[in-house]
Amino acid sequence: MESHKMESQSSAMVVTMLIIAFLRTVLAKSIQAASIAFLSLMEGLSMKSSPEQEIETFDQLSAHWWETTGPMILLHKLNKLRVPLVVEGLIKAGKVDRKQRYTTDALKGLTVLDVGCGGGIYSEALAKLQATVVGIDPARHLVEVAKAHAEKQPDIKEHCHYYQQSLAEHWQGAVGKYDVVVLSETLEHVEDKSAMLKQVAAVLKPGGSVFISTWNRTRWSWALAVVVLENVMKRLPRGSHDYDKFISPEETEAILEGYGCRTLECRPFYLKFWENEWIWVPFNQTTYALHAIKE
């Protein structure tokens, strides 16, 4: 009896020791994997691209720009927020009749400049509402992609015009030309934001509107854009976002006001990154969309 009891205790001890050894091995491997992942992540977080490197990065993505489930999926998804924002904003500004809100020609007769147009995802959506859209971008391959894609669509090809230019190159020949300027996911890549917004104000007609969507300068923005979307989920090009280039809505509004543009609305939005969906939210911690009018 006593012998059987001791044998049972011995077996239990062996099993316990085996479990402990197993857990130690798992923990060691987990720590090793986490360390490698952390070092890799830190390498990614330390990357800062020059403007030329950023242009090259986006140029390399040009072949996949119009794959709706590809690397630019977040830009495709963003149209669900930014296009209605333009229509609603222009209704509030008295430039679009309220009855035109849901029509296919809501923007007919209006001229739009898309700064940093990329491969034309935003430009085409606005052109489908019958706006005349000029898209500019310094990335040559992206402009070629935008031109080729628009050319295949008879309903918009006469409404879309693309040029390989920066705003600094474009604005002097376009003073007071546009009813609308859009800067979507562009401002956070620019060093001299004041100069860019000054040029935006210059190309707008009196009473014209500018619509901006960009990243707020907060820790939450850094965590979402750089840590999660660039380095963990690989939804954004690695090294394409720099916290130092992010700008708060208060700063954006102040700069615009200095150039005669009054902010009508600032709406925060957020990425449900686990579903690849952008949604309007009541907290202003990550991204925001701003509408201002030139007075």
Same domain? For 126 and 251 the reply is yes
| Tokens standing for residue 137 | 């971008």
Same domain? For 3 and 75 the reply is no
- 245/48 Cα distance (integer angstroms): 11
Those residues whose C-beta lies under 8 Å from the C-beta of residue 148, and which sit 6 or more positions away, are: none
- 71/93 Cα distance (integer angstroms): 35
For 23, the domain range is 1-33
Same domain? For 164 and 223 the reply is yes
**pLDDT at residue 64, as a whole number:** 85
| CATH code of 68's domain | 3.40.50.150
**pLDDT at residue 31, as a whole number:** 37
Same domain? For 225 and 238 the reply is yes
Place of tokens 């894609």: 149
Annotated binding residues for Mg(2+): 185, 188-189
Quote the pTM value: 0.80
| Tokens standing for residue 198 | 């000054």
Those residues whose C-beta lies under 8 Å from the C-beta of residue 259, and which sit 6 or more positions away, are: 197, 198, 200, 201
Same domain? For 141 and 29 the reply is no
Same domain? For 63 and 196 the reply is yes
Same domain? For 191 and 248 the reply is yes
Closest CA to 267 of 288, 244, 285: 288
Those residues whose C-beta lies under 8 Å from the C-beta of residue 24, and which sit 6 or more positions away, are: none
Q: What is the pLDDT along the chain (295 residues), one digit of tens a residue?
A: 555 555 555 555 644 554 555 455 444 444 344 333 333 343 444 445 555 655 565 556 677 889 998 888 999 999 999 999 999 999 999 999 999 999 999 999 999 999 999 999 999 999 999 999 999 999 999 999 999 999 999 999 999 999 999 999 999 999 999 999 999 999 999 999 999 999 999 999 999 999 999 999 999 999 888 888 888 887 777 777 888 899 999 999 999 999 999 999 999 999 898 888 999 999 889 999 999 999 9
Number of domains in the chain: 2
Those residues whose C-beta lies under 8 Å from the C-beta of residue 166, and which sit 6 or more positions away, are: 136, 138
Same domain? For 109 and 6 the reply is no
Annotated binding residues for S-adenosyl-L-methionine: 82, 116, 137, 184
Annotated binding residues: 82, 116, 137, 184-185, 188-189
Strand runs labelled E in the chain: 111-115, 132-136, 160-163, 178-184, 204-215, 261-272, 277-280, 287-294
Same domain? For 165 and 221 the reply is yes
Same domain? For 85 and 176 the reply is yes
Same domain? For 62 and 208 the reply is yes
**pLDDT at residue 287, as a whole number:** 95
Same domain? For 119 and 58 the reply is yes
